[in-house]
Structure formats: C-alpha cells, structure tokens
C-alpha cells in the first residue's frame, strides 16, 4: 500500500471514530487504540506532507498561531430573532404567520420546529466538496472574523462530511458553547493559577474563539450544536429534513428539537422544557420556534432585522429586586481585585442571596451602578447570583456613582491594570495580608504540599501572632509555639461568637504534616510556590524538561520560552518571579528545610516499552509501591502519565483509598480501572 493510500485510509477511519465518540457517544475502539492510530497518521504526515489532507484529524490538537483574524463578509446575513415573553405574544405571532400564508391557495397551515435556545456563540461553517473550508463568527451580522483554525479544534464540528449526498457547497449555522463541566474545569485551572474565575460560559466561549493560539482553544474542550442548513439550490422541503440530513452528514444536533403540528403543541413544548432544561449539560434561556416548510418561510420573508418565520420565546429568569448596601473588594493571592455587591438579603431560587459578584471594574461601569441602587439579581446558569440591571426609578436623587477603587482595600497600595487583562492588581505581594495568606493557603492545599489542618482560620491565628509571613515560615513552626493559640470571631451569618484554637492533638498533627511535606515531589513543590500562570500541568512540564530548580533558576528567558508548551507569558512570569529578592530568600529557606527541588530519578527508568502509547494515572495507596514509585514505573515502561481523569485516559490504576471523584469520572467516561495486581501483570 502506498503512503498516500495509508494516509487516506487512516484519515477516513479517524474521522469516523471521532464522530462516533464525540457526536454519537459511542466508543468503537479504546483510547489507546485511537491514540496509536492518530500517532501513526501524524508520523506519516510528517514523512509525506504532500499527502496530508487539509482537514486531517491531526488538526484537532491545534497549534496554529493567528496574529490577526481576517474579516469576512457573510454570504447570507446572520440575522437576530425577535423575542416573545408570554403565551399571548406567542399566539399573536402564530396569527401573523397564518395571515401571511393566507394568499397560498393550498397548504397554508403552518407546522413548527421547536429547539432549545442555547446560550453560546453563533458560528457560520462553510463546506466545499464535503470539507470544512471556513468558519466565521457572527460579528455584526453582515461580516465576521475568520476563526477557521480555532474551529477545527472543536471535535463536534466535522472536518469531513460523512456520506456522499451533500451539495458541493453548504453553509451550516451553529452555536459554540461550554458545557457546565468544561467551564467548571476551566475555572478550577484559573483558581490553581491564582487567577480570577471567568464570569460565564457564553462570554468565555466568545473570548476563546478569538484566542491567537489554537492549541489553547483545543485544550478548553469547546462544543458545538448545529441547527441550520443553507444551500443556494435547496434540495429539501422542510427544516426537519435539513436537520436529519445534517445529523446524517456528521453534525452534532441537540436531541431536544421537536416538530409541532400547531401552536398549542409549541406551548406544550415550552412548558415541558421549563424545568427539564435545567438538567441539560449547558445553559439555555429559551426556545426557538421556526416555521418548518421552506415554501412557507419564503412566503413569509424577512424584515430588515429578523425573519418573520421564526421567533424566540425567552424563559423568565429567576430574579428578584433588592437594595445594594455596599460594594466591597476581595484581594486574591495574585493581587487580583474582585468587586462584590453586598445586598439586602433576598430569597431567590429557594436560597437567601446576600452577595453577588461584579467581576471587574468594567462590569461596574457597564451597569452604571450608584450607591444604594435597587438592583435586579438573577442566578447565572441557575447557580451563581449576578446583577443584571438597575431599577433607576428607585434611585435616590443625588446618589453617587460607584467608582472602582484605585488603591488596595487592605494595604492602600495603588492598583495596576495590565494592558491585556480586565482585572486590577495590588502589586504589594509581600506586605498585603490577603495575598500573603492566599499564597500560604495555596501552598498547603492537598494538591500542592498537602499540609492538613491549616484552614483559613488557623492561618489567620499564626499570621496575627507573627509566626508566619510566607510559606518558608511554616518549616520554623514548633509544637511549643503553636499549642494553645486561639482566636474568638463572630460568624457573619449567625452573629454568634466562635472559637478556633490549636489543641494538643491539632498541634501535634500539624507539625507531623509539615515534616511529611518535605517528601512531596518536586513538581508539586513548584506548583505550590504559586508562580502566576504556573498550574499543576505547567509545573509537570517544567520539571520534566529542566529536572531541577537550579536549572530553572539558571535558565535564560529564551530558554524558558523554548521549553515544551511554555509560552511567552508563562516564561516571563517564571523569569521575573525567580529574580525577586524575597522569592530567592524563600527558596533558600525551603531548600534548607529539605524540600524536594530535583526530579526524582529512579533505577527503573527506561525499563521497557511494554506500555508504549498508553496513557495512565494512579490514585490511592499501593501495597508494593509508593504513589511516586508507581507513577515513575508507569513512565519507565513507556506509558504517558496524565495529570487527571479525561476521555484520553486509557487506564486508571486504583489502589486502596482511591479518590471517589476520580473513580466516578473514570466510570462515566468508560476509562478502564485496574488494580495494582493488574498493573504488575501488564509488565510481565
């Protein structure tokens, strides 16, 4: 078989497997087998680039860097829909549709297609000869940005259409979105990196599509539902037929759509989904209703802004109105300032809401917030309270406009805003209490140094007693200087006094936990230091590449940039952190305390290639190995060690006390869970 034929066959097979896994939720091969096929294709494409398909499955991993996005005119305008908010308005629209169809001598009774209105970002996908040729954002409706490289990383957007009965050129409209699961995962990474969380899935999806590096887009796991087919010479009679064709050609179609024979059935659909939609994996805010027959759509036509044959019914958000009592400001461990609205308590969605995030200075400006305003509060995605608007009719005469602070609320240091960020920062990281305590909280976290027994309250006691001012001070603590320390505080919610104290057992356990933390491997120590942008995954990459802290400290900025998957922003952050006198002193004290600053090398490195091409992860405790030893043995026998459970994980090695969340997620994703005994047998 020629190289071209091999590439053609592998490309077709991987397109099929991608569609089965991400669209049909069906695993026809193991992740290990899939990765082997993908690696085989990559190797062939590298060797014979002239035979690589323009829409190869290897494009899914990203890697293209786009400095500027070209502006592209839409062949057909991407119009917005008119909205309706009540049963009466919906039935009035139905009457207008029927009236518009009356000139038709026959077949003038409309039927409708109902679809959930997803809270994402509209996209136009152009296919020529069955291949994705261009992806364009909505923009202003007449023109948008060419984001083809980023769209190719979204696994539910087909690169090559299935079958052969598609027209030479088609346009498919869709909605790009984050599932709640993917959005939560992204915000956990933000938290690990000491960065403010993203405000909501929709805005984050929009921003992600405009990122310059498509590899970052690929890592964020965006999804896409397709919902509309546009062809110059229409080959279908109804929207229903088009949706079925899109599904057959490999597009990801939401299973929530339904054909309704009349407006009464439409209203029933709306009522049925008012509660059901809350269990969907992504945010929705209404229902889109479309006239099904294309002949009817053509007869009804368009207005300047929207089609007459479609309308959006918007569900009423759970909202309440309450008084803004004050705006306070939280300081994160990286110095990022987050404004918080403190509200007169109000019942919303079964819970009492007292606070709502305002995200950043731009949000305060957008809302035009004034002192003691009456604000509308909603639950974003049914979970997080947010302020959506102001009742200006209740605004007090002469009320002062709320201005974002210009100095730190804790230490009065002037705030700084970086050119490419929305957040303002306090740069006094060594003298600002919330930053100091935030860094230590991060350091002792179970995913970092795993020093149990040091919650926020106990850290506060140690700080106030001048026993800790940075992470290295933890290793100077003794039983004698912490036993008996206590603090009385007033609970904000109950108003009652409570006590936090270091009792005998608590003090003993803490000293033991601090001593045990000196055995934590280097990659977790590096993560624990809390260097901006250096999360758990980046720490592993750095340690694997540089092997020791000495090598990282001695590396030039250019050498840091050249490390695998370490971009300019991360490299600059590491370089500057390591040249700060305070940080140099902290590292020196941590070294003296015996922390691990060298990647552990073992005698079993490069033991065999029996696990080559496999991805593995270990959780729990083991009989024959320590956690670090079993991870080393995984890599020593050719497997790739992943940092968490994902769809790309082949095997989870589960020992005693295995993490229940890892086991649950692995089971849900169909990952093979094996015991320590099974793992040893794989090496025989």
**What's the CA gap between 628 and 641, in Å, rounded?**
11
**What's the CA gap between 624 and 630, in Å, rounded?**
9
Question: Distance of alpha carbon 402 from its chain centroid, rounded?
Answer: 31
Residue 237: closest CA among 301, 169, 293, 291: 293
Is residue 175 within 8 A of residue 225, CB to CB? The reply is: yes
End-to-end CA, the chain: 35
Say whether 117 is catalytic: yes
Crossing angle for the helix pair 201-209 and 180-192, to the nearest 10 degrees: 80
What DSSP string runs through 477-488?
--HHHHTT-EEE
Is residue 528 within 8 A of residue 450, CB to CB? The reply is: no
Is 613 strand, coil or helix? Answer: coil
Q: Are strands 310-314 and 83-84 parallel, antiparallel or unpaired?
A: parallel
The residue count for the chain:
684
User: What single DSSP character describes residue 673?
Assistant: E
Dmax over CA atoms of the chain, in Å, equals: 95
Helical residues (DSSP H) of 52-195, grouped into ranges: 87-101, 148-151, 180-192
User: What single DSSP character describes residue 238?
Assistant: B
Question: Residue 23: CB partners within 8 Å, gap ≥ 6?
Answer: 156, 250, 251, 252
Sign (positive or negative) of CA dihedral 193, 198, 201, 204: negative
Is residue 512 within 8 A of residue 482, CB to CB? The reply is: no
**What's the CA gap between 56 and 13, in Å, rounded?**
11
**What's the CA gap between 82 and 59, in Å, rounded?**
37
**What's the CA gap between 394 and 541, in Å, rounded?**
55
Is residue 259 within 8 A of residue 112, CB to CB? The reply is: yes
Count of other CB atoms within 10 angstroms of residue 150: 28
**What's the CA gap between 84 and 458, in Å, rounded?**
53
**What's the CA gap between 364 and 370, in Å, rounded?**
9
**533 backbone dihedrals φ, ψ, rounded to 5°:** 75, -5
Question: Residue 647: CB partners within 8 Å, gap ≥ 6?
Answer: 21, 31, 669
Count of other CB atoms within 10 angstroms of residue 606: 9
Count of other CB atoms within 10 angstroms of residue 354: 16
Residue 86: closest CA among 315, 295, 410, 370: 315
Catalytic residue among 13, 47, 52, 117: 117
**What's the CA gap between 607 and 152, in Å, rounded?**
38
Question: Residue 253: CB partners within 8 Å, gap ≥ 6?
Answer: 225, 226, 227, 243, 246, 247
**What's the CA gap between 99 and 155, in Å, rounded?**
43
Q: In the structure, how many helices (H) and strands (E) does the chain have?
A: 24, 24
Q: Which residues are catalytic?
A: 117
């Amino acid at each position: 078989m020629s190289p071209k034929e091999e590439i053609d066959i592998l490309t077709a097979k991987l397109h099929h497997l991608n569609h089965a896994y991400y669209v049909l939720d069906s695993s026809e091969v193991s992740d290990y087998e899939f990765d082997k096929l993908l690696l085989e294709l990559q190797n062939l494409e590298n060797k014979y680039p002239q035979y690589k398909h323009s829409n190869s499955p290897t494009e899914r991993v990203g890697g293209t860097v786009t400095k500027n996005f070209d502006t592209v005119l839409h062949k057909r305008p991407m119009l917005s829909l008119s909205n309706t908010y009540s049963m009466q308005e919906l039935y009035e629209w139905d009457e207008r549709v029927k009236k518009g169809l009356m000139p038709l001598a026959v077949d003038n009774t409309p039927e409708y297609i109902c679809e959930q209105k997803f809270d994402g970002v509209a996209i136009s996908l152009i296919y020529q000869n069955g291949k994705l040729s261009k992806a364009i954002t909505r923009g202003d409706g007449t023109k948008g940005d060419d984001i083809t490289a980023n769209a190719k990383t979204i696994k539910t957007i087909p690169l090559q259409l299935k079958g052969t009965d598609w027209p030479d050129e088609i346009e498919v409209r869709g909605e790009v979105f984050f599932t709640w699961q993917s959005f939560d995962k992204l915000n956990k990474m933000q938290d690990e990196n000491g960065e403010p969380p993203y405000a909501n899935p929709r805005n984050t999806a929009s921003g992600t599509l405009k990122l310059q590096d498509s590899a970052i887009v690929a890592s964020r796991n965006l999804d896409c539902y397709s919902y509309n087919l546009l062809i110059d010479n229409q080959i279908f009679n109804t929207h229903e037929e088009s949706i079925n064709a899109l599904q057959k050609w490999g597009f990801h179609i939401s299973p929530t759509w339904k054909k309704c024979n009349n407006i009464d059935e439409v209203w029933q659909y709306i009522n049925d989904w008012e509660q059901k939609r809350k269990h969907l994996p992504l945010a929705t805010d209404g229902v889109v209703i479309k006239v099904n027959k294309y002949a009817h759509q053509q007869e009804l036509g368009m207005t300047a802004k929207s089609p007459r044959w479609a309308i959006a019914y918007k569900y009423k958000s759970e909202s309440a109105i309450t008084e803004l009592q004050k705006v306070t400001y939280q300081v994160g461990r990286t110095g990022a300032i987050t404004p918080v609205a403190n509200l007169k308590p109000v019942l919303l969605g079964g819970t009492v809401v007292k606070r709502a995030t305002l995200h950043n200075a731009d949000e305060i400006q957008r809302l035009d917030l004034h002192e003691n305003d009456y604000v509308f509060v909603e639950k974003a995605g049914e979970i997080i309270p947010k302020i959506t608007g102001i009742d200006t009719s209740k605004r007090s005469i002469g009320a002062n406009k709320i201005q974002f602070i210009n100095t730190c609320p804790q230490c009065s240091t002037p705030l700084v805003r970086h050119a490419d960020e929305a957040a303002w920062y306090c740069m006094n990281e060594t003298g600002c209490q919330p930053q100091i305590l935030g860094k230590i909280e991060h350091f002792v976290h179970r995913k970092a140094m795993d020093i149990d027994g040091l919650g926020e309250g106990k850290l506060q006691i140690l700080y106030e007693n001048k026993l800790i001012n940075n992470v290295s001070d933890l290793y100077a603590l003794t039983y004698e200087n912490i036993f008996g320390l206590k603090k009385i505080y007033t609970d904000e919610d109950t108003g009652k006094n409570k006590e936090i104290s270091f009792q005998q057992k608590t003090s003993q356990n803490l000293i033991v936990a601090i001593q045990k933390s000196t055995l934590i491997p280097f990659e977790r120590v590096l993560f624990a230091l809390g260097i901006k942008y250096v999360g758990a995954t980046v720490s592993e990459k750095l340690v694997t590449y540089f092997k020791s802290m000495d090598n990282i400290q001695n590396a030039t900025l250019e050498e840091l940039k050249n490390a695998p998957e370490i971009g300019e922003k991360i490299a600059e952050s590491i370089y500057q952190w390591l040249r700060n006198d305070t940080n140099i002193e902290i590292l020196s004290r941590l070294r003296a305390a015996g922390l691990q600053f060298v990647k552990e090398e073992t005698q079993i490195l490069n033991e065999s290639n029996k696990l080559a091409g496999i991805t593995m992860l270990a959780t729990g405790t083991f009989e024959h190995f320590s956690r670090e030893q079993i991870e080393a043995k995984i890599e020593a026998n050719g497997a790739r060690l992943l940092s968490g459970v994902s769809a790309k994980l082949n095997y989870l090695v589960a020992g005693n006390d295995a993490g229940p969340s890892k086991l649950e997620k692995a089971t849900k994703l169909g990952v093979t869970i094996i015991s320590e005994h099974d793992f040893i047998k794989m090496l025989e």
